[in-house]
Structure 1
Amino acid sequence: MPQIRPAELADIGTIGDIYAELFTHMHTLQPGYYLQARQDESFIKTMIESDQASLFVAEQDSRVLGFIIVQQQQTPTYNCIAPHDFAYVIDLVVTESARGMGIGKQLMQAAQEWAQVRGLDYIELGALSNNTGAIKLYEQLGFEHCTTLMRKELK
């Protein structure tokens, strides 16, 4: 069973490799919008060192199999929106070879515990509309659809 732990600076390269796998998958799902790329290592470092975010990795046999980044945020200060402090899942990624082992659920549990310790009101995340595997996982974990982002191509 993989162990969940906070990421360390020594994990940046491996996390970058997993990000490249994510970006390839996103490009496959929506090639007109997403590019195959690598995440900027300074972004990963910032998330590891942040007081307002946490990056957890799932590790088994000294190998990182996935990660989650969760960040504390606040609702916008609009008159019609109730004020909340909440957790936003920036990214949840499990390597393709490790999917189906429950790692996504373990990582999400770590994020939920992190948010609860901080007294946050809820967890929010986004998923590509055609990433059916991710959406199925989130629904199994009790997430509900609350908004829809729509796009119309102009060219």
Structure 2
Amino acid sequence: MTQAHTLTLRPATVADAPLLAAMHSASWQATYRALLPSAFLEREVDAERAAYWRARMEAPGGERRLVLIAELSTGTPVGFVCVERQPGSPWGVLLDNLHALPAHQGIGVGKRLMRAAQDWARAQGEAQLYLYVLDGNTPAIAFYERQGWTYSGSEPDHMGGIDITALRYIYRLDAM
């Protein structure tokens, strides 16, 4: 099995938007099978995520955002993180995306990406991060709780053509 020390992180560029979209789609297709409609995951998610990442990576305000791609020493991409400062947010910095590709979960990708997001937020002078996870995504919830994140509420959302509940978790940066 691949060891975590073979991982490297690199900043994503606009040219990486298709790669980010492909990883995001693959993650959702594997993780959300029981949470989102099959039709969305099988026929719509690829195009939807491609449009999302193209727009996101081209959008102004890149200085408020960090997007990193995790790669094995072979250059194989295995995950990514996107964290963004949210001016005026009562919750702090948004950890908007944290994805380790299914075939590479359990080797430290998520932890490494999360630490990079936390370090970046600290360097920005922030005191807290927050994220949303789909209600019912038990493996992700367990992962975040093992990393010291705490539940702080829920909000209605809409994803894949259905109404969902997003659980908000927070992480105090002084919690080491």
TM range (shorter): 0.7 to 0.9
Q: 1:122 aligns with which of 121, 125, 128?
A: 128
Deviations 1:83-114 (A, max 9, x none): x5721011111111100001000000000001
The offset of 1:48, in angstroms, is: 9.8
The offset of 1:34, in angstroms, is: 8.7
More helix by share: 2
Counterpart residue number, 1:80: none
Deviations 1:28-59 (A, max 9, x none): 13224992212114234237971111101111
Q: Is the CA contact (8 Å cut-off) linking 1:18 and 1:95 kept in structure 2? A: yes
The offset of 1:63, in angstroms, is: 1.0
Q: 1:72 aligns with which of 80, 85, 98?
A: 85
Counterpart residue number, 1:109: 115
Matched residues in 2 for 1:32 and 1:99: separation?
A: 24
Matched residues in 2 for 1:46 and 1:97: separation?
A: 29
Where structure 1 has 5 or more consecutive residues not aligned to the other structure, the ranges are 77-83
Matched residues in 1 for 2:60 and 2:31: separation?
A: 23
Matched residues in 2 for 1:48 and 1:56: separation?
A: 17
Deviations 1:107-150 (A, max 9, x none): 00000001000001201001112111111111111100010235
For the residue of structure 2 that corresponds to 1:23, the secondary structure is: helix
Amino acid at match of 2:55: F
The offset of 1:22, in angstroms, is: 2.5
Counterpart residue number, 2:57: 45
Counterpart residue number, 2:96: 90
Counterpart residue number, 2:147: 141
For the residue of structure 1 that corresponds to 2:33, the secondary structure is: helix
Matched residues in 2 for 1:31 and 1:15: separation?
A: 20
Where structure 2 has 5 or more consecutive residues not aligned to the other structure, the ranges are 1-5, 158-162, 164-176
When the two chains are superposed, the root-mean-square deviation of aligned CA atoms in Å is 2.7
Number of residue pairs matched?
A: 146
Q: 1:24 aligns with which of 22, 29, 39?
A: 29
More strand by share: 2
Question: TM-score scaled by structure 1?
Answer: 0.81
For the residue of structure 2 that corresponds to 1:54, the secondary structure is: strand
Question: Structure 2 vs 1, CA of residues 48 and 130 (structure 1 numbering), >3 Å: closer, same or farther?
Answer: farther
The offset of 1:11, in angstroms, is: 2.5
Amino acid at match of 1:143: W
